[in-house]
Structure 1
Amino acid sequence: MGKSGGNFLAGAWLRTLAVALCAVLMMLGLSGCRNIFALPPCMPPEFTVTPSEAQPGDRVTVSAPDTKCDARYGQDAQVAVEVLDKSGTPVLKELAPMTDDGGFTFVFTVPAGMSPGKAGVTAYPYNVDWCDDTGVNNRAAPGPQTLVQVSCAQRLVPLIIRGA
């Protein structure tokens, strides 16, 4: 085989390599918008509500431990806590400090006049796209927000309201 045969084989090898590389890039592109080499998703930690039954005027604690992943919510991170009555109407909406890793403790007094029945408490990182599953820190930019809260990630912990 002469010099031209060697050039042909080298060229064929390079074309094969280029086709294989294009195929890999296409597969990565078709796998969705998620980077498959990124860290696993870092969702907010699960929170607890204590006690699970209370009456108007009682103090209730909502708390969560730090995450086991690298949440990076920031040094000024806040958690939004909402108490919903038995019809799902918010009766209390407050912000509280949260650690960079999502831990927090928030104490509230059950509002007077809250009707007996099964109410609920929800807590989620404030100004963060917390329903994202890409593992990316999605801190919202300052100014008016256009985030839409997606119910798929909202956790509602029951709080039974007893009559006085």
Structure 2
Amino acid sequence: MPPEHTVSPSSAKPGESVTVSAPDAKCDPRYGEDALISIVFIDAAGVEVLNTTAPMADAGGFNFTAEVPLNSAPGVMAVNAMPHGVDWCDDTGKNNRVSQGELPLERASCVLPTKPLNITK
């Protein structure tokens, strides 16, 4: 599973900074030295207002700070964070980095790690 992330503060206005972070996993997932975390903000209107990647530690920890996009609708924003380009359901003990093959990655779980962020005006 991807690392359990937090969003701080829990409420912000467009233009203010928020931090999305997670500690290293205890199970040694071995994401690799060039691992990335995919971070997506979806506002209360269902609009994807941020979609980016940031560095992630081999053990899954990361710390990412961004400004809430100015065009974000007020209400509860979904903040998703999951390892980028990784088969995060793999528990074989092998490096979980997905090779750059011809087949696209298909998520094997319907659970998307999401935390709320209250957007105020």
TM-score by length of 2: 0.90
Larger C-alpha radius of gyration, 1 or 2? Answer: 1
Q: Residue 91 of structure 2 aligns to which amino acid in structure 1?
A: G
Equivalent in the alignment of 1:104: 62
Q: CA deviation at 1:145?
A: 5.2
How many angstroms apart in 2 are the aligned matches of 1:65 and 1:138? 18
The total of aligned residue pairs comes to: 119
SS at match of 2:110: helix
How many angstroms apart in 2 are the aligned matches of 1:56 and 1:81? 17
**Higher normalized helix content (fraction of residues):** 1
Does the C-alpha gap of structure 1 residues 117 and 152 become closer, same or farther in structure 2, counting only changes over 3 Å? same
Correspondent of 2:91 among 135, 151, 154: 135
Q: Residue 68 of structure 1 aligns to which amino acid in structure 2?
A: K
**Higher normalized strand content (fraction of residues):** 2
Correspondent of 1:64 among 5, 22, 34: 22
Equivalent in the alignment of 1:93: 51
Equivalent in the alignment of 1:80: 38
What 5-or-longer segments of structure 2 have no aligned partner? none
Q: CA deviation at 1:101?
A: 0.1
Equivalent in the alignment of 2:9: 51
Runs of 4 or more, structure 1, over 6 Å off, are none
Q: CA deviation at 1:151?
A: 5.3
Q: CA deviation at 1:87?
A: 3.0
The answer to whether the aligner puts 1:119 opposite 2:73 as a matched pair is no
